[in-house]
Structure 1
Amino acid sequence: MDSKKLKILFISSEVEGFSKTGGLADVAKALPLELRNMGHEVVIITPFYRTIEHRESAQQIHQLHLKTDNARPDIPFAVQELSLDGIKVLAIDNAHYFDRSGLYGEENNAYADNGERFAFFGIAALLTSIAEDFSPDIVHCNDWHTGLVPYLLKARFHSNTHFTDTKTVLTSHNSAYQGIFEKSQLNLIPEVSSCMDDRVLESYSYINFLKVGVIYADKINTVSPNYASELLTTLGSHGMSDHFIERIHDFEGILNGCDYNDWSPETDKLIPYHFDSNDLSGKEKCKKALQQEVGLQVNDTPIFGMVCRLTDQKGFALIIPILERFLRHNVQLVIVGSGDPAITGHLTALAAHYSDNFKFINGYSNELSHLIEAGSDFFLMPSIFEPCGLNQLYSLAYGTLPIVRAVGGLKDTVIDYDQDPDNANGFMFYEPSANELLNILRRALLLYIEHPEEMLRLKTQAMRSHFYWSDSAKHYERLYHSALHIRPQWE
């Protein structure tokens, strides 16, 4: 059984190369490609957003309908076919739900009907699988957007021979986002809107998509071992600990990999100079190019970089109170991101006041993100929580030492210099305290100034830390086979 090549239906609300707001898209590209390389047959299903890349090359292959009930008309949708390096990508095309400026919202406000949108997406994905005559061994669901799929397979599709032997895996990439909506958004799926089971509709009034997925999926995982441990605690679970504990024997953490095809200083097409762990001279040239690009003085001053969504999760409640004190040192800081208007306002004001050594770019640029990873000396990531984190993996690949808090996947991938100097690849602090963050920033700065040879050794060591998707994919393969071996508890 363990050598069986599987048919995997991979459902994700975003996929790198087509649509992206965060790390989910990176996983939804890299993991299917690695599974394909292992010999498995993978089909990806994702929404056909207005902003989807390569839209012009899409080919419509199906015209389908979602049957609702007599109270409302059926919902038509098309299926557009795209390709990800030879993997079939099927995009659900419905203008009402997906022909919008954003994926989940606009101007930092979520769309009011996101529950209805992604309830539709989940059931449309299963109808598409039937239309394609793709009968999967595994349906791999990702985050709350697909949380209804395991339940729908056991409710609407339980007697459908297309899914007779199908099992489900749900990956929670960030359990803080749970998809909680009023019952009225589920009217298009009568099995859900009329369900009297409190595990599906709580108090018969609202639904938590992620909770439903955790309850009904055959196997569940998250994206690092340490975050999995945190989800079993009251403090670290975003209110979901009871549900994860109930499924503890079907739950694990699998660390994300790094896509070195896109993030390697030896081959990166988005940086002006290449380098490797044996010769970092190109990194110094990238540093000068970064300083020129953002308008900082070109010199040997240490650069601290940061690229992220501007949210509380990323530690701005720790950063902003100490930023002025930190900027009084001989440092340069570049932050790139968008999000919370209050955080944006604070950073904009500070950047205006400290324009000589602090640059804030409100927005996202893939090219600039790569240049920051290549040209910075340190990468700032003081997250309040971090399921896995990808930027610390990118930073390590480019010899940019991550400064992180000891949470989630950051703790699984970064080795602190004070704790283990011989094997260290970065800096780590524990308490969610602004002063603790300032202390570790100064600690890193002191090492840069007083021990340049040690800094070079650390950078070289960081570049030799590798997190391959091929290793992660083997763990997922074992999880799939485990799902296929079990008899679901509700049967």
Structure 2
Amino acid sequence: MFERPLKILLVSSEVAPFAKTGGLADVAGSLPKALATVPEVGPGHDVRVAMPMYKGVGNYNYLLDFPVRMPQRTATAIIRQGEISAQYQQKSSKIPVYLINNYHYFHRQGMYMFPDEAERFIFFCRAVLEMLPLLDWQPDIIHCNDWHTGPIPFLLHARYRQNVFYRPIATLFTIHNLKYQGIFPREVLRLLEVGEEYFHPASIEFYGQVNFMKMGLVYADLINTVSKTYAREIQGPELGEGLDGLLRQRAGQLYGIVNGINYHEFDPRHDQRIFKNYHQDNLGARKENKFGLQKEMELPVQDVPVLGLISRLVDQKGLDLLLEIMDDLMQMEVQLFILGMGDPYYEQAFRDVKQRYPQKAGLHLGFNSVLAQRIYAGADIFLMPSRFEPCGLGQLIAMRYGAVPVVRATGGLADTVVDYNPILDTGTGFVFQEYSGRAFYHAIGRALQLYHGQPLAWQKLIQRCMEKDYSWARSGVEYLQLYYEALRARQLGEKIA
């Protein structure tokens, strides 16, 4: 299917299971597994991963070290090597993970939000590039993820391509969330060791500052984001975050690929974290997970519709809509389970909900992977009323476990959830368009109406959800196609140059 095996380096600021704050780590930890093991992606690709070695990541084997020249110091990059184990059917693979360590930059409490953030990730990006010839390994493509890796395509263009080793290496830059861009003062040019010739709107300048996300968008051979709808949305001013003009300009090299989920980790037939295993032809057993969840969250054990929400508690997630309709929702015969952490405003707001409705609302503030799986397996309806959602993994996991999603038609939610059609008896969830509490409430009402009024249709809806394929096998094939396209773009660029 594909031309030849590729050497692929995926670079990310976080990779599961080594370090994680959100969905980026899940993608960076799962996509390499598919590329290395899934038969559909073609012959044996050499896939490797690079990330910073934060404090607490663990103790891994020393590989090599070398100096990286920074403007005010020469910093030592110490490379240690971990691995990700991948298995698909009968095929297994060990994926090397290069952990780039420097005590000054990464031995800290927490991963992000430090005053020297620009310097930390410039060091990381330069260390990634300068590590490669020392490993005697030349990737065909470097797959960069989000703003932390934006300097890699830029530095290749501005500094490294003059070295014959780096000339043929293609780059793909993936936008996971355009809202977070890595914007720093003009003085960052000194850290990059480049001149004022790059400080203009057609390059890395952004309203008088330097933009790391923009580096990737301007200088990568190809760009993609994590759903086709989000790829369209970010070309408009509403979700373009000031970069919509550039994205329209590069529309011919901008693609959308929906993230996948790991179907071995997320499998209700074998998941040891849930109360009772089940499958799409044995949905009666699923109800035991509802009852187990109710007991664990200390709510009345009864067969009422259970609504679940697992989310970062931030504005993006449409939580204002849920709070707007909360009192009306709680008048119904339902229970609501919320798991998440984030903005103190929303954390307090949901504490107040729990206090007002102690017999109907279950709340856990924080991250708990076991409880998350139990909510996916025990909820009847899964809520994602996002203001915007580049891809979203929650709705994919929910469908895998048979929790019917109620979502707003934005980004990856629009691409993955098909609105239920009562006439044709088709669809995989309930979708609303307008960003309003009224529209959200109406969509939940439609779901509850089907749940109560047509139990056989509801069961068929659950089965359709569980039959959908949003595994990394599908997404991995699409990424491979982009890698080859990026290589062709790089080769054409070399010929033109």
TM-score by shorter chain over 0.5 = yes
Q: Does 1:87 align with 2:92?
A: no
The alpha carbon displacement at 1:194 in A equals 7.8
Name which of 362, 373, 390 aligns with 2:376.
373
Letter of the structure 2 residue corresponding to residue 61 of structure 1: L
Alignment of 1:327-346 (within 5 A): 327-346=330-349
After superposition, the C-alpha distances for 1:455-483 in whole angstroms (9 at most, x for unaligned) are: 21211121111112112111111111111
The separation in 2 between residues aligned to 1:387 and 1:288, in whole angstroms, is 33
Alignment of 1:319-358 (within 5 A): 319-358=322-361
Change in CA separation of 1:196 and 1:224 when aligned onto 2, cut-off 3 Å: closer
The alpha carbon displacement at 1:192 in A equals 6.5
Is the Cα contact below 8 Å between 2:198 and 2:205 reproduced in 1?
no
Is the Cα contact below 8 Å between 2:425 and 2:457 reproduced in 1?
no
The separation in 2 between residues aligned to 1:294 and 1:162, in whole angstroms, is 57
Q: Does 1:101 align with 2:109?
A: yes
Is the Cα contact below 8 Å between 2:384 and 2:405 reproduced in 1?
yes
The alpha carbon displacement at 1:191 in A equals 2.0
In structure 1, runs of 5+ residues without a counterpart are 105-109
After superposition, the C-alpha distances for 1:371-402 in whole angstroms (9 at most, x for unaligned) are: 11011101100001111111101011111000
**Structure 1 residue runs of 4+, over 6 Å off?**
none
Counterpart residue number, 1:170:
173
After superposition, the C-alpha distances for 1:295-340 in whole angstroms (9 at most, x for unaligned) are: 1111101110011111111001211111122112111001111111
Q: Does 1:41 align with 2:65?
A: no
Q: Does 1:50 align with 2:55?
A: yes
The alpha carbon displacement at 1:205 in A equals 4.4
The separation in 2 between residues aligned to 1:212 and 1:116, in whole angstroms, is 15
The separation in 2 between residues aligned to 1:223 and 1:266, in whole angstroms, is 28
The alpha carbon displacement at 1:421 in A equals 4.8
The separation in 1 between residues aligned to 2:458 and 2:268, in whole angstroms, is 18
Counterpart residue number, 1:62:
64
The separation in 2 between residues aligned to 1:438 and 1:483, in whole angstroms, is 44
Letter of the structure 2 residue corresponding to residue 92 of structure 1: I
Alignment of 1:109-124 (within 5 A): 110-124=113-127
Q: Does 1:233 align with 2:241?
A: no
Change in CA separation of 1:192 and 1:28 when aligned onto 2, cut-off 3 Å: farther
Is the Cα contact below 8 Å between 1:119 and 1:186 reproduced in 2?
no
Alignment of 1:347-426 (within 5 A): 347-418=350-421, 421-426=424-429
Q: Does 1:3 align with 2:7?
A: no
| Count of residue pairs brought into register by the alignment | 481
Q: Does 1:433 align with 2:441?
A: no
Letter of the structure 2 residue corresponding to residue 410 of structure 1: L
Counterpart residue number, 2:89:
none
Alignment of 1:257-296 (within 5 A): 257-296=260-299
2:73 aligned counterpart, secondary structure: coil
1:63 aligned counterpart, secondary structure: strand
The separation in 1 between residues aligned to 2:268 and 2:23, in whole angstroms, is 20
The separation in 1 between residues aligned to 2:19 and 2:403, in whole angstroms, is 27
Letter of the structure 2 residue corresponding to residue 128 of structure 1: M
Q: Does 1:151 align with 2:159?
A: no
1:163 aligned counterpart, secondary structure: coil
Is the Cα contact below 8 Å between 1:226 and 1:408 reproduced in 2?
yes
The alpha carbon displacement at 1:243 in A equals 1.0
Name which of 220, 223, 230 aligns with 1:220.
223
Name which of 307, 310, 314 aligns with 2:313.
310
The more displaced of 441-450 and 23-32 is 441-450
Counterpart residue number, 2:14:
14
The separation in 2 between residues aligned to 1:22 and 1:421, in whole angstroms, is 37
User: What TM-score comes out, normalization by structure 1 length?
Assistant: 0.94
After superposition, the C-alpha distances for 1:433-467 in whole angstroms (9 at most, x for unaligned) are: 01111111122222222222222121112111111
After superposition, the C-alpha distances for 1:211-268 in whole angstroms (9 at most, x for unaligned) are: 1110000000011111111122222322221111111111111121221111110121
The separation in 2 between residues aligned to 1:193 and 1:92, in whole angstroms, is 30
Change in CA separation of 1:425 and 1:488 when aligned onto 2, cut-off 3 Å: same
1:156 aligned counterpart, secondary structure: helix
The separation in 1 between residues aligned to 2:203 and 2:217, in whole angstroms, is 11
Report the aligned-residue RMSD.
1.9
Is the Cα contact below 8 Å between 1:47 and 1:98 reproduced in 2?
yes
1:255 aligned counterpart, secondary structure: coil
Is the Cα contact below 8 Å between 2:7 and 2:46 reproduced in 1?
yes
The alpha carbon displacement at 1:31 in A equals 1.1
In structure 2, runs of 5+ residues without a counterpart are 86-93
